[in-house]
């Protein structure tokens, strides 16, 4: 039996009141999972699922902003996803580009692309870069495209080594001075705080390599809902759960 909307509204307000405003996460990462399974259960195509999921992004970002979150990282396309069929991949990239351009056009958020755009078709990459270059205000939205955690770390180390080589450093000098801070400064998210909370939709309980370097002390929340069916109550439950946890930060 479907619960009436007015009861959901009452429940949403109650959830919002239960979240300690002093314990809200600053940076939330979301693994947008379940588009294809959502569509399959409805007897629809994968394309329909991707479109529905993309249409949902702007609404969820609005909820995040209302909740006082300052940075949201959305994992839209992984390096593993690049192995999908050419037809599905081309359609998915078109959907992502349209979505990112739509988010940038609002001017409400600062859009930042994280991932290796060199792996992407040039036209697709150019559309994302153009959106990133637009001036935005308010909440920062990281769009993870062509992203994999191992790939990011490898990319960061490679960039660091090249920079030091161009400066004339010897291999021994680099080996002596390389440290966590040096690698962190070359990650895609440099200059940003690590995520406080990662939410994954669809019921899968694994990280799949998302933000490997940055999530040493991050809290994890796994939601049963597929991404297209992710509701504001699901977000509020995640935030309430986070606020109730005692973060030890390795201590």
Per the CB < 8 A criterion, the answer to whether 156 and 182 are in contact is no
What span, in angstroms and rounded, lies between the C-alpha atoms of 198 and 242? Answer: 10
| 231 known member of a binding site | no
| 250 known member of a binding site | no
51's tokens: 């479109």
142 is catalytic: no
What is the chain written as a DSSP string? -PPPHHHHHHHHHHHHHHS-GGG--SEEEEE---HHHHHHHTT--HHHHHHHHHHHHHHHHHHHHHTT--EEEEEEEETGGGGS-HHHHHHHHHHHHHHHHHHHHH-SSEEEEES-GGGS-HHHHHHHHHHHTS---SSEEEEEEEE-HHHHHHHHHHHHHHHHHHTT--HHHHHHH--HHHHHTTSTTTTSPPPSEEEE-TT----TTTTTTT-TT-EEEE-SS-GGG--HHHHHHHHHHHHHS---TT-
| 83 known member of a binding site | no
| 35 known member of a binding site | yes
Cα torsion 226, 228, 232, 235: sign: positive
83 is catalytic: no
| 207 known member of a binding site | yes
| 219 known member of a binding site | yes
| 93 known member of a binding site | no
| 240 known member of a binding site | no
| 79 known member of a binding site | yes
Catalytic annotation, pick one of 81, 98, 102, 194: 81
| 13 known member of a binding site | no
| 38 known member of a binding site | yes
Q: Within 10 A of 49 (CB to CB), how many other CB atoms are there?
A: 22
| 84 known member of a binding site | yes
Cite the annotated binding site for substrate by residue number.
Answer: 34-38, 50, 78-80, 84, 200, 206-208
Cite the annotated binding site by residue number.
Answer: 33-38, 50, 78-80, 84, 200, 206-208, 219
Active site residues: 33, 81
């Amino acid at each position: 039996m479907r619960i009436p909307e007015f009861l959901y509204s009452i429940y949403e307000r109650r959830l919002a009141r239960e979240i300690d405003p002093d314990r809200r996460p600053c940076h939330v990462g979301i693994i947008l999972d379940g588009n294809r399974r959502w569509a399959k259960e409805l007897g629809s195509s994968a394309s329909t699922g991707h479109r529905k999921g993309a249409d949902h992004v702007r609404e969820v970002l609005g909820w995040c902003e209302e909740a006082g979150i300052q940075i949201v990282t959305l994992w839209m396309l992984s390096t593993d996803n690049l192995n999908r069929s050419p037809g599905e991949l081309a359609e998915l990239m078109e959907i992502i580009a349209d979505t990112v351009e739509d988010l940038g056009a609002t001017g409400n958020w600062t859009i930042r692309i994280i991932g290796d755009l060199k792996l992407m078709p040039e036209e697709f990459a150019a559309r994302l870069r153009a959106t990133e270059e637009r001036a935005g205000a308010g909440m920062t939205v990281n769009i993870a495209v062509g992203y994999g955690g191992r790939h990011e770390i490898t990319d960061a180390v490679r960039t660091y080594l090249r920079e030091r080589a161009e400066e004339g450093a010897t291999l021994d000098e680099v080996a002596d001075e390389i440290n966590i801070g040096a690698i962190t400064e070359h990650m895609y998210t440099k200059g940003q705080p690590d995520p406080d909370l990662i939410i994954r939709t669809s019921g899968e309980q694994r990280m799949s390599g998302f933000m490997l370097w940055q999530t040493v002390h991050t809290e994890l929340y796994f939601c049963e809902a597929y991404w297209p069916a992710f509701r504001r109550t699901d977000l509020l439950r995640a935030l309430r759960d986070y606020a109730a946890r005692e973060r030890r930060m390795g201590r």
